Amino acid sequence: MSGILTGRRILVVEDEMLVAMSIEDTLVDAGGEVIGPAPTVGRALGLLQEETKIDAVVLDMNLQGHSGLPVADACDERSIPFLILSGYGDTALNGTHHAAPILSKPFASAVLVETLKTLFGGNRA
C-alpha cells in the first residue's frame, strides 16, 4: 500500500481512539498525511474551516452520540470527497449523501485505502 496516498491530506473524524489510531496508521503507511483525528462534530467542523487543504474526509457517522451529518454537509459545501464509516449500515444517513461510499465497521485496511483511491479517481496526487 506504500505511496498510494502520497501527497493527500485526509481528515479523520472518529471518536473511538483505537479505531482512529488504526485508520491513521493505515493512511500514513499508504503515504497519506492525516489531519486530526477529530473526535467530535465541533472539532471536525473547526478543522474543515482552519485547514487550507483537505483532499478527503474519513467520517464516522456516530460521534459521541451525535450525528456526523453536519460534517458530511460541510464536506459537500466545500466539494471535499468523503467516505462514511458506520456500524449501522446506510441507516445512519437518513436518506442523504447517497454518493458517499460507506464502509461498515469493522473493515480491512486495504479496503479503506482502495476506497479513498476510488474517491480520488484512481489517480495519485
* Model-wide pTM > 0.85: yes
In whole angstroms, what separates CA 1 from the centre of its chain?
Answer: 18
CA angle 32, 10, 104 (to 5 degrees): 105
Please report the pLDDT score of residue 122 as a whole number. 64
Would you list the domain boundaries of the chain?
9-119
Instruction: Find the helix or strand (DSSP H, E) in which 90 lies.
Output: none
Q: Which residues contact 97 (CB under 8 A, 6 or more apart)?
A: 69, 72, 76, 84
Please report the pLDDT score of residue 121 as a whole number. 84
CATH number, span 9-119 = 3.40.50.2300
The pLDDT averaged over each successive group of 10 residues in the chain (125 residues) is 87 97 97 97 97 95 92 95 81 62 92 94 58
